[in-house]
Structure 1
């Protein structure tokens, strides 16, 4: 790991600053939008805009990189992010914010693809897995750290919009000044959705549902907190705890998944998440209990994402894993677009408790589908390696990680 840090620290530092900026603006908009008088459904549209842009960016960015190169794409997208971040308080209209969120989602998608390609290029076959694990950890730490910055100024002030803009601008320096040459960019031929669903119906449906869960969690948590009457400090702690849960439980779940039928874990985690979220939706809980629910939510959804990719790879030869990962990420993105929209509509009908209610129903739907699929075929005879991934990773990182894990494992069925 020390070797990885020595060669890749500029890239990791840059992505840390980017994630702090992204995490801060994502949390801030829910609070500021509530103050501005946006309805819950309007805010859900704003939050969904990010995932629309993210999905579009995943499709467009590879072509941009091939035409003008990594450096120019990264510089242009990062500059756009920095500019957009300071436009939010100048134009507090939900339609304007929606357009800005689409744009910033597009830019961050391209940024992730660019930096992950660079990181992959700096690593050797022996250190690639460690490098991408460090990258995932840095992503989570950046979002957690961002929540602390919510408390340095009032959400009605301009300051909290300037801080992420400055952080994103500073992120240019370590990445663009690194002596590592920009890599060549190759795309992997993907599998058709029909073929992917035939290979792993549970993987496909699971990615669609977890996309909705993650986006609802990421996009609507601060809206829920503001409507519930929590202070900014309490909201920042709640959001931070969710990501902390994902950081803590990723390894234990991964360890267990390599020693049992992954479907049992998918079913168990989804059921636990569904029940805990249902209690949070229906009961009037003290703040510490909501923190516990947030810890469970983050601790379940992040490992589930990795579990579903690993389970799908159990049925794939190594040379098809990267192509399959691109389709899985696309399905996750489609679910992510709908997650905040449905959550915002339900919150508008039943109140703040609708936040946990929608997430609960999505978890329970996944648990039910997993239980049904277990009656349709036996578990695979062998398993691919489990890789700790986050839903914010692009197809570049996911493809490299799953192929690397696949090469370490023998005896899996094709």
Structure 2
């Protein structure tokens, strides 16, 4: 762990600042949209735009990096992010915010691709798992800290938009000045969606459904809080609780997944997520129970992401794992784009509780499909399954391929240990 910190502290510090900036702008827009009088449908379009941009960035960023290099891409896109964050309070129009969210989603995706390739270059086979863990912790901690910073100023003013803009600008400095040399960059061509669906129908369907859950959490949780009449402090706590739950439950569920049929565990975790959604929908007026529901939903959905990837890997040759990761990310991105729009429609139809109704329906759909798939083929034995590796929904194809390599290494180590 110390070795990872020594070699990649500047990158991790920069990524932490970037995540604070990203976490602040997402929640702040949900609060400010209510102040500006934007409708729920309008805000759902604004929030959905981020995921459209992120998906586009994940597809185009590798080619952009190959043409002009890591340093230029990172610096240029970080500058664009900073500029857009200042634009939000200056031009409070739905079309402007939507365009800004597309740009920010695209830029953050490309920035993450660049940073993750640097992290891959800084790590070794021996500390790869530790580097992944630190990267996930830094990302989650950044989003949680961002919610606390929302309490430092009035959301109807400019200051809260200036803070993330400054943080993003500062984040570039340690990364560009401290990280050397610039790594070689290459990504694996994604497996076709048809081939991927044939290999793991549950993995593909589950990733699409989870895309909707994630985009609801990251994009619409603040909108829900504003529509439900929560204070800024309550909204900040509410949003942060999703991510606190995600980091606390990730590793216990991962430990269990290496010791039982992953399809059954996917079913159980999804069912618990549905219960958490039910609690939020029915008892949302009680703030304590609202936090309980956020903890459960966040604590179940994020490990589910890793579970579905691990389950898909169980039916892949090791040589195909990296190419499959790109397809899974694309499917998840499609679900994420549609999530906020459907959530906004449901909130307009049934009230703020439509937020939890949407996540609950998605969880229950995953329960039903996991149960169905359990009847279609036998479970893999423990010897046939790969290792569970904790990954975050914010990972791009670079970090996910990086995690896949770690999973292969861990599986090989387990096989050697069993023979020994």
Helix, strand or coil at the partner of 1:151: helix
Q: Equivalent residue for 2:406?
A: 404
What is aligned with 2:271?
Answer: 271
Q: Distance in 1 between matches of 2:355 and 2:406?
A: 37
TM-superposed deviation, 1:407: 2.5
The question of 1:91 aligning with 2:91 is answered yes
Within a 5 Å distance, the mapping from 1:54-93 to structure 2 comes to 54-93=54-93
Which stretches of structure 1, 4 residues or more, deviate above 4 A after TM superposition? none
SS of alignment partner, residue 178 of structure 2: coil
Deviates more, 1:266-275 or 1:158-167: 266-275
| CA distance, structure 1, for counterparts of residue 282 and residue 230 of structure 2 | 18
Unaligned runs of 5+ residues in structure 1 are none
Corresponding position of 1:259: 259
Pair 1:48-2:52 in alignment: no
Q: Give yes or no for contact 1:222–1:239 (8 Å, CA) kept in 2.
A: yes
Which string of whole-angstrom CA distances, capped at 9 and with x for unpartnered residues, describes residues 102-136 of structure 1?
Answer: 00000000000000000000111111221121111
Aligned position for 1:138: 138
Aligned positions, number = 412
TM-score, normalised relative to structure 1 = 0.98
Deviation at 1:279, TM superposition (A): 3.1
Deviation at 1:179, TM superposition (A): 4.0
Q: Distance in 2 between matches of 1:109 and 1:87?
A: 20
SS of residue matched to 1:124: coil
Deviations 1:71-121 (Å, cap 9, x if unpaired)? 000001000000000000000011110010000000000000000000000
Q: Following the alignment from structure 1 to structure 2, what is the Cα–Cα distance between the partners of residues 244 and 93?
A: 33
Match of 1:163 in 2: 163
- Alignment match, 1:199: 199
Shift of 1:331: 0.3
Given that residues 202 and 373 in structure 1 are in contact (C-alpha distance below 8 angstroms), is that contact kept between their aligned partners in structure 2? yes
CA shift in 2, pair 1:86/1:376, >3 Å: same
Deviation by residue 1:210-235 (Cα, 9 ceiling, x = unmatched): 01000011111011111111100011
Give the alignment partner of residue 393 of structure 1, picking from 388, 392, 395: 395
Q: Gaps spanning 5+ residues in structure 2: where?
A: 416-420
CA contact (8 A) 1:385 1:402 kept: no
SS in 1 for 2:393: coil
Structure 2 match to 1:349: 349
Structure-2 separation of matches of 1:179 and 1:334: 33
Cα pair distance change 1:64/1:266, threshold 3 Å: same
> What corresponds to 2:214 in structure 1?
214
Structure 1 vs Structure 2 CA RMSD = 1.1
Q: For residue 243 of structure 1, what is the aligned residue in structure 2? A: 243
Equivalent position SS for 2:233: helix
SS in 2 for 1:189: coil
Q: TM-score by structure 2 length?
A: 0.97
Task: Give 2:418's aligned residue.
Answer: none
CA distance in 2, matches of 1:355, 1:124: 42
CA contact (8 A) 1:214 1:336 kept: yes
Once the 2 structures are TM-superposed, how far is the Cα of residue 284 of structure 1 from its aligned partner?
5.0
CA contact 1:22–1:143 (8 Å) conserved in 2: yes
In 1, distance between residues paired with 2:285 and 2:249? 24
